[in-house]
Structures are given as C-alpha cells and as structure tokens.
Amino acid sequence: MMTLLLLAIALSMDAFAAALAQGATSQPRAGLRVALWVGLAYGLAQGLMPLLGWGLGRVFISIIRDIDHWIAFTLLAAIGAHMVRQGLESVPHLPAAAQSVLGWRILPTAIATSVDAAAAGVTLPLLGLPIVISCLVIGTVTCAVSFAGVMIGAAANARAGKRAEVVGGVVLIMIGTKIRIEHLFFAG
C-alpha cells in the first residue's frame, strides 16, 4: 500500500505544478472555487487514466507476460526522467497550463497532466492491488494535491511546481527500479 501511495504522489506532481501555476494566475477571491474545480478535474482525470492503461495491459498480457517487469521499469523510468527534465528546465514565464481555465477548458490540461498515469496503469498489476482501489487512491491524492497546489500558488508562485516535478520524477524512477529488482532477485 505504501508503494501505491508513493506512486499516487509521484503521479500527482504534474497536476500539482499546473495547479500551482493556476493558483498564481487566479483572482484571489476565486481561489477556493478554482482550487475545488481544478482539484476535482485533475483528480478525476488522474484516477481514470490508470484504468485505461491497466485495460490495455490486460489486453496484451499474454504477449508481454515475460517482459512485464521490463515494461514497468522502462515506462516508469521514462516518465520519471521526463518529469525530472521538465522540472529542471528554466521557465521564463508561466506555462500555458497556467492560464485561467474554468469550465470545460480545463479538460485538455487535466488530460495532459494525467497521461503518465495511463502509462503507469500498465504497471499496476505488479503492485498486487485491486485496480479500483489503485485508481481511487491515485485520483484522491491528485485531487487533494491539486487543490493544495492552487491554494499555495495563489499565495506563492508557480516556481515551486518545478521542484515538485523533479521529486515526483525521481520517485517514479525509484518505483520502476524497485519493480525490476524485485523481479530479478525475489520472483524466482
């Protein structure tokens, strides 16, 4: 369960970074309303995307069974490395995701910040937890983290999101490495 919680936190870092930027661009009076909307949108997208990845993984399980640990390691390491690289890039201005988004305009940002969760969904069976619980944990954590991100962004600035992205990327690489090591040394 701890691995699932770490995975959920790591996956939520893209949403957190975007939520920080959203909070930094929101009008102060709208902060709570925007935080709730962003949290729900990002949490829902992040909670549903692993289900998509899991479903695709189930369809192709007979093909990938012998290399599933390599796929998990490669996907999580690639996602993590991408997050670290994005987090280390300097940002002269707020990202496009930071523009005030309300209503249906938040959908592309919510999907964009949760694509990595779809890829990670392929790896969920290796955690040995039910997919529904995994999706609920990932979605709930992302909702809470995004809500907090908007509130913090309103009070601070969006640069803190870059550091969060680096940390989230490193955690994903560590989870992928853990899956690979467990398979090599403890799965016979």
Find which of 14-18, 36-40, 70-74 is predicted with most confidence, using mean pLDDT.
Answer: 36-40
Say which amino acid occupies 128: G
Instruction: Return the pLDDT at 157.
Output: 56
Burial 10-21 (b: 16+ CB within 10 A, else e): bbbbbbbbbbbb
- Number of helices followed by number of strands (H, E) in the chain: 9, 0
Burial 152-175 (b: 16+ CB within 10 A, else e): bbbeeebebbbebbbbbbbbbbbb
Instruction: Return the pLDDT at 84.
Output: 81
Q: Are 72 and 177 in contact (CB under 8 A)?
A: no
- Structural domain including 105 reads 2-186
Instruction: Return the pLDDT at 107.
Output: 82
Provide the number of structural domains found in the chain: 1
Minimal CA–CA distance to 169: which of 40, 2, 6?
6
pLDDT in tens, 80-139: 787 788 778 765 444 444 445 556 678 887 887 787 888 888 878 777 878 999 999 999
- Averaged over 49-77, what is the pLDDT? 79
Say which amino acid occupies 20: L
| Of residues 104 and 70, more confidently modeled | 70
pTM here is 0.71
